[in-house]
Amino acid sequence: MTQSITITTPDDWHLHFRDDAMLQETVPATARCFRRAIAMPNLVPPVVNTQMAMAYKERIMAARGEFTDFEPLVTLYLTNDTTADDIRSARAAGIVASKLYPAGATTNSDAAVKGIQSLYPVFEAMQKEGMLLLIHGEVTDNHIDIFDREKEFIDRHLNNIVSDFPELKVVFEHITTADAADFVLASSDNVAATITPQHLMLNRNDLLVGGVRPHNYCLPVLKRNTHQQALRKVVQSGSSKFFLGTDSAPHEKHKKESACGCAGCYSAWSAIELYAQVFEELDALDKFEGFASFHGPDFYGLPRNTGHITLKREPWRIPEVIALPTGDSIVPFMAGSQVNWRLAK
């Protein structure tokens, strides 16, 4: 039985740090094991231009603490007011990606895109400038079942986007269905996807059976077991089209355990360890480094990291609760559960 795993230092290609005092918790929790992270721009107000993005980057960097080598990769939040000039300005400043949220799809997305075709001039500029398009791929029509919204987005929008902009690099974020996995596999090398720990470890039974479990509620919502198994199969395969993106998304405990039912799983405290556990369960530890450390930077056109981390077989339990500097607290993903791997100091 393998007792330790050493891999090239990984990156997190999709997460939410939030802002202000929350950064004192979320940034070090991520930087403990990841060298870089793509920071989502759905703040209040959203990060819609280069000036706001670079200011946000400075706030993240100020919260790194001892992890001074950690590099946040900030993104632009696309709206119906985004212009090609905004894209060119952002790319010149080193911003590597912009994020498409359909309006109302997730936390703080009310200002997002209504009418995706209206953004085609922006997609054209992104294709020309070499900026990646990151997509939260769900429709938000009230009459579409929440469990079908990812597939509907593929059929209604994503097929057209990748067909109309064949040179645009697209990351289908936090995929949750066999339909999404099949779409990525069938698409060109310019289409890839991130997969979260919760969608590899859980299915909708873990959200609904025995009572609603608010700390397992995320968007896109957990799907049925057959979709979970499809995701596990593609990471087990070692396909370079899939890579690590935690979608770690903190909400205070009282906001998760309320009528609001805020969506998001805060996994930063244990994400790399939980991913290792999944790959071990799949007898695919030989594929772990590719998923965690190589496929993401290769797709983004960025250099692979040169450092390494080591995980040791040392069972431990994820905390039941994490105190925040504000006096509030967060219940982390898989709180109280035993994890078989621990990051070596």
pLDDT digits (tens, 9 = 90+) for 156-194: 999 999 999 999 999 999 999 999 999 999 999 999 999
- Annotated active-site residue 247? The verdict is yes
Which two three-digit tokens encode residue 277?
A: 């556990």
**CA neighbours closer than 13 Å in the CB half-sphere of residue 179:** 15
**143 labelled ligand-binding:** no
When pLDDT is averaged across residues 316-330 and rounded to a whole number, the result is: 95
109 pLDDT above the threshold of 60: no
Listed in sequence order, the residues at least 6 apart from 137 whose beta carbon sits closer than 8 Å to its beta carbon are: 150, 153, 154, 157, 158, 172, 173, 175, 180, 220
Token reading at 267: 């996994």
215 is in an annotated binding site: no
Report the pLDDT value the prediction gives residue 287, as an integer from 0 to 100: 98
Question: Is position 295 annotated in a ligand binding site?
Answer: no
For 342, the enclosing helix (H) or strand (E) is: strand 338-343
Q: What pLDDT score was predicted for residue 102?
A: 84
17 marked among binding-site residues: yes
Catalytic residue among 247, 283, 286, 298: 247
pLDDT of residue 114: 74
What whole-number distance in Å separates Cα of residue 72 and Cα of residue 12? 10
Tokens of 100: 């498409």
How far is the C-alpha of 68 from the C-alpha of 63, rounded, in Å?
A: 9
Are the beta carbons of 13 and 192 closer than 8 angstroms? no
Q: What percent of the chain is modeled with pLDDT above 90?
A: 92
pLDDT digits (tens, 9 = 90+) for 294-310: 999 999 999 999 999 99
**What span, in angstroms and rounded, lies between the C-alpha atoms of 57 and 234?**
33
